[in-house]
Structure 1
Amino acid sequence: MLKIRLKRCGRKKSPSYRIVLVPSQSRRDGRAIEELGFYNPLSNQLVYNKERIVFRLNQGAQPSLTVKNFLKKSGILVK
């Protein structure tokens, strides 16, 4: 099963995250199949590729809880 989740990058005390598509059993910072976006919690900046996320969700990828909240706020994921 594929998951859409966050991958940590950035320096110590200065985190930034990539929104990636990975197999569900891989490590947090393991190799990603595809990068779908970027999130910077310090500046609260969220950049993502809407078409690819919708395509992957239609293929059956499951978002993590945090990514699901991002998608609900941006209007991609509707109840």
Structure 2
Amino acid sequence: MAIRIRLMRMGAKKRPFYRVVAANSEAPRDGKFFEILGYYNPLKDPYEFKIDPQKLKKWLDLGAEPTDTVRSLLKKSGILKEIKETATN
């Protein structure tokens, strides 16, 4: 069982809002998940992306892999860099 950190679509039709969740890679996109880590709102200008760094670090330490989209959002927000620097210190 591989764990992925990925987006889960919420919101109304044509008004997307996403939760960042830790989920089994075989589960459906909007199916079961282990924990909510944060959210992403692409409709705001600029987009809104909030994530709990402690929860993220916990799941990364357990071997969870972020999807390409989540990894890109983490890099843009600088959170991934902070976590890596904390891990090396």
Task: State the TM-score bracket (shorter-chain normalisation).
Answer: over 0.9
Q: Any idea what the Cα deviations from partners look like across 1:42-77, whole Å, max 9, x if unmatched?
A: 001111111110111111000000000111122232
- Unmatched segments (≥5 aa) in structure 2: 85-89
**Larger RCO (alpha carbons 8 Å, 6+ apart):** 1
Q: Which amino acid aligns with 1:3?
A: R
Task: Give runs of aligned pairs for residues 1-79 of structure 1, distance below 5 A.
Answer: 1-43=2-44, 44-78=47-81
> Runs ≥4 in structure 1, deviation > 6 angstroms?
none
Aligned length: 79
Identical residues among aligned pairs (%) = 46
Question: Highest Rg: 1 or 2?
Answer: 2
Asked whether the 8 Å contact 1:17–1:39 carries over to 2, the reply is yes
Corresponding residue SS for 2:80:
coil
Structure 1, unmatched stretches of 5+, are none
Structure number with the higher helix fraction is 2
Which residue of 1 is the match for residue 87 of structure 2? Answer: none
**Cα-Cα RMSD:** 1.3
